[in-house]
Structure 1
Amino acid sequence: MRSYFLVINCRQEGIRSLQSFKKPNRRESTTHSRRWIPVSTAIRPSPASSLPISPSIHHLLPSPLSPLGGDMDMAIDSAPNGDASSSPAVPPATAAAAAAPPAPTTRLAQLAESLKLEYQFVRVPLEHLKKTMRTNYRLAEKEVAAVLSSVAEAVDRSDAMSRDDALTHLSSLVSRLQSLKRKLEEGSRVENLQAQRCRARLEHLDSVADADKFAEWKDVRLTRILVDYMLRMSYYDTAKKLAETSKIQELVDIDVFLEAKKVIDSLRNKEVAPALAWCAENKSRLKKSKSKLEFQLRLQEFIELVRADEKLRAVSYARKYLAPWAAAYTKELQHAMATLAFRHNTECSTYKDAFEPSQWDCLVEQFKQEFCGLFGMTNEPLLNIYLQAGLTALKTPLCYQEACRKEDPLSQEGFRKLAEPLPFSKLHHSKLVCYITKESMDHENPPLVLPNGYVYSTKALEEMAGKNEGKITCPRTGEVCSFTDLIKAYIS
């Protein structure tokens, strides 16, 4: 599978046409002629066509320690067919005043920016721990209250109880308390495991500051993102196997997604009971977020009764479960009650949609959104978010033209679809990458312009000239020229 180098730091990098120029120093080598030309004449290949291919998928992810550098100004000597009057030079002072380069970002600030994407990494186990603690507390409160009530009742009628009845009653209370003890011990064990998971994740985030361990940290992050994607795509067994082989069970949320899987599977089987039980368990938090999930589940159950032509049961169900929602969802409730006058195969467009099987798919998606919201997770897989961040820096109008080359990730339909809702890159300066060596072109490895307008690095062309007696062959067009015919471009 191809892996592409996606630029993540959108504030510093971009794939755009070069816009500012600097006149070369007259004391530079006079091997090449000098004449100012429009950049469109000197550099014909599209910026996106020079994107390097990386052999590792790590470049799909942001690397806070290795940004591609800041903005660049560029000056180009003369080229064939150039015209000094067609593109006047911009003085260096003017270019610097027009767009001053941003202050260099410190490593600590870059790490802080990267860790902002790890919000759900800590939030999910914390929310899971809080939920377990609430469940254990409610269980203990309920059982203890029941035992105390039973003891008080026994005291009130102690005069009428025989010795054997009293012993039997006390034995039942002891058994109940022993059962509560076992449940609380199990709950305490689960709490300790979840607390250990929170601790492990904090220690993992703390290790990012260690430069020696940063490569390992990136490997683990990549695996975590892949496991998250598999879980969201319902590849539970594959995700579990990957987590086990990578030994990162404490750094992924398999148990949380397995909890959601039970509800999702039941909804796909057109059963609402597990989903309603989940809503009851999280009622206070769903109410706080003004969720409609429980109402939609009740509404769908009502529709299923109407579909089965059990209208009396449907009316009774509506009085018991839908009436309490009348004030908040009057229009939806009126629309649902009107379905009593129609059959499930009605052709009336107003009510036909209510009987569509796709309503169950909508419930599944709504449950996923509510579930992610409760645990502080993103609705989109983390892999999509990282990829979209990179595609935002790469997306240009040229990417959607036929001239877009295969080296550009956006030449593939899958990436284009993912980038469709994203804006075009807002950056104004390009990072030049050699088409031959896939290395950056800078002061130490400056770009050279061929007579046909294509640009390659000095390192690549010198190596080619050394092997071919000073002759250069353009790898794109096959045109042959002499090394002395090359035009030097200056980057500042």
Structure 2
Amino acid sequence: MTSPMETDEQLPNGNSSTVAAVATTASKTGKLAESLKLEHQFLRVPFEQYKKTIRANHRAFEKEISTVISGISDAADADLSRDDALHQLNSLVSRLQGLKRKLEEGSLTEHLQAQRCRTRLEHLESADVDNVSDWNAVRLKRILVDYMLRTSCYETAEKLAETYNIQQDLVDIDVFYEAAKVIDALKKKEVAPALAWCAENKSRLKKSKSKLEFQLRLQEIIELVRADQSIRAIAYARKYLAPWGATHMKELQRVMATLAFKSTTECATYKVLFEEKQWDYLVDQFKQEFYRLYGMTVEPLLNIYLQAGLSALKTPFCYEDDCTKEDPLSQEGFRKLAQHLPYSKQHHSKMVCYISKELMDNENPPLVLPNGYTYSTKALEDMAKQNHGKITCPRTGLVCNYTDLIKAYVS
């Protein structure tokens, strides 16, 4: 039988273990909650697509119903024979039947998109402290697929999703295929698909004060001027660009001036308008508007996550010629990613031996060579033992005696 004294002595240990376990769990839960805050785009994209489908179905319904009601009103007011009235009514019935089919198809599309939203919510809810490692592995794969889509590697993205067994509802392949049609057309110098996309999303683009449609219309005029079709260019400007005159008069005047300067001009102000890079600019502008419309980040998620890590590693030493190869920022690709990031705030510096990669501290103090380079005591002692008391600087090739080294003190 356990004595009261023994029980009292065991309780504090039991309580401390429980408290530690609870604290660890709470810490992991807090980190997971912070991590989930970064999944805004993951939920926003299917939701925006769902809303877009609802709006399109609603517009189609209103348009068809309005036409049918107008047809019935006209038939009632007109003095039609029995056969003509019957023909008119049959035509309206056929139109309503067509509307019914469209609404059924639209309803199915809405259902599939609502299911996608539900699947993504369930995926986020499945994130738990116990399976956070597996969940993060899936997230990394999603981010890689997103990167492939952003760089127009659509087939690779599909293969990647298939190889990783990622549900189609967890990636945005179909959404990016929608953008691919417009991007490919712009690369072929065709603006019709881009203008159709602008018309389809007119209200949203107007709210965000987008200039994409205006820029596309200006490029149409430039191409007409290039083809020496000045009359058509003027007619086109009167029809499509007059509404933009109040807010974008300077840009409009600059483009219309090309009618006088022609495509062969050497005047830098107007010559630049005829350069091929204007089409690249339109592609970039479309991508930004597309990302904004669906609530996506302009930068690929992979870049954002990498920059978050690089910001903690970036120091002035990373850009020196003798930066260690173990440092990610010794690679040109990572340096480019971190170019606009601030240097990390280091409250306490650490000295790492270039030879052994071990930390230099009071237990393993740094030793200074005559040329000013510093290495750890343990590494230099091992080198001296193997070379009869001689030390060779691995970076400059200087050879000296171990007795010539000076001890440095870390404060």
Misfit runs of 4+, over 6 Å: 431-442, 473-481, 486-490
Aligned mates of 2:229, 2:136 — CA distance in 1: 58
Are residues 1:165 and 2:92 paired? no
Deviations 1:249-274 (A, max 9, x none): 11111111111111111111111111
Range moving further from structure 2, 337-346 or 448-457:
448-457
Aligned to 1:227: 145
Which residue type is aligned with residue 223 of structure 1?
K
**3-state secondary structure, aligned to 2:364:** strand
2:119 maps to which of 163, 184, 200: 200
Aligned mates of 1:260, 1:190 — CA distance in 2: 19
Aligned mates of 1:297, 1:339 — CA distance in 2: 16
1:352 to partner: Cα distance: 0.4
Are residues 1:152 and 2:65 paired? no
Deviations 1:96-139 (A, max 9, x none): xxxxxxxxx93333223222221111111111100011001111
* Residue 436 to residue 315, structure 1, CA distance change in 2 (3 Å): same
Does structure 2 retain, via aligned residues, the 8 Å contact 1:307–1:344?
A: yes
Aligned mates of 1:425, 1:198 — CA distance in 2: 38
1:437 to partner: Cα distance: 9.7
2:36 maps to which of 107, 111, 115: 115
Aligned mates of 1:199, 1:475 — CA distance in 2: 62
Aligned mates of 2:255, 2:209 — CA distance in 1: 21
Aligned to 2:174: 255
**3-state secondary structure, aligned to 1:347:** coil
1:191 maps to which of 102, 105, 110: 110
TM-score (norm 1): 0.68
1:218 to partner: Cα distance: 1.0
* Backbone CA RMSD of aligned residues: 3.2
Does structure 2 retain, via aligned residues, the 8 Å contact 1:311–1:340?
A: yes
Deviations 1:411-441 (A, max 9, x none): 1111111111111111323578898998999
Aligned mates of 2:279, 2:324 — CA distance in 1: 42
Aligned mates of 2:310, 2:215 — CA distance in 1: 37
Which residue type is aligned with residue 161 of structure 1?
S
Aligned to 1:335: 254
1:154 to partner: Cα distance: 1.8
Aligned to 2:22: none
Aligned mates of 2:114, 2:180 — CA distance in 1: 23
2:335 maps to which of 413, 416, 420: 416
Which residue type is aligned with residue 160 of structure 2?
L
2:60 maps to which of 117, 139, 143: 139
1:156 to partner: Cα distance: 2.1
Which residue type is aligned with residue 148 of structure 1?
I
Aligned mates of 2:409, 2:126 — CA distance in 1: 45
2:155 maps to which of 231, 237, 255: 237
Aligned mates of 1:114, 1:184 — CA distance in 2: 40
Which residue type is aligned with residue 49 of structure 2?
H
Are residues 1:271 and 2:190 paired? yes
User: What is the aligned-residue identity percentage?
Assistant: 66
Does structure 1 retain, via aligned residues, the 8 Å contact 2:50–2:113?
A: yes
Aligned to 1:305: 224
* Residue 406 to residue 151, structure 1, CA distance change in 2 (3 Å): same
Aligned mates of 2:121, 2:377 — CA distance in 1: 46
Does structure 2 retain, via aligned residues, the 8 Å contact 1:224–1:251?
A: yes
Which residue type is aligned with residue 154 of structure 2?
Y
Aligned to 2:364: 448
1:142 to partner: Cα distance: 0.9
Does structure 2 retain, via aligned residues, the 8 Å contact 1:447–1:455?
A: no
Structure 1 alignment gaps of length 5 or more: 1-104
Matches within 5 A, 1:243-392: 243-248=161-166, 249-392=168-311
Aligned mates of 2:393, 2:174 — CA distance in 1: 53
Does structure 1 retain, via aligned residues, the 8 Å contact 2:318–2:330?
A: yes
1:341 to partner: Cα distance: 0.6
Does structure 2 retain, via aligned residues, the 8 Å contact 1:448–1:487?
A: no
Alignment length (residue pairs)? 366
Aligned mates of 2:359, 2:88 — CA distance in 1: 83
TM-score (norm 2): 0.81
Range moving further from structure 2, 145-154 or 220-229:
145-154
Does structure 2 retain, via aligned residues, the 8 Å contact 1:266–1:274?
A: yes
Aligned mates of 1:226, 1:425 — CA distance in 2: 26
Aligned mates of 2:377, 2:36 — CA distance in 1: 37
Aligned mates of 1:479, 1:239 — CA distance in 2: 57
Which one has a larger percent helix, Structure 1 or Structure 2? 2
Aligned mates of 1:232, 1:414 — CA distance in 2: 18
Does structure 1 retain, via aligned residues, the 8 Å contact 2:367–2:377?
A: no
Aligned mates of 2:132, 2:358 — CA distance in 1: 23
Aligned mates of 2:110, 2:116 — CA distance in 1: 10
Aligned mates of 2:410, 2:126 — CA distance in 1: 43
1:150 to partner: Cα distance: 1.2
* Residue 479 to residue 207, structure 1, CA distance change in 2 (3 Å): farther
Aligned to 2:3: none
Aligned mates of 1:170, 1:388 — CA distance in 2: 65
Aligned mates of 1:246, 1:413 — CA distance in 2: 29
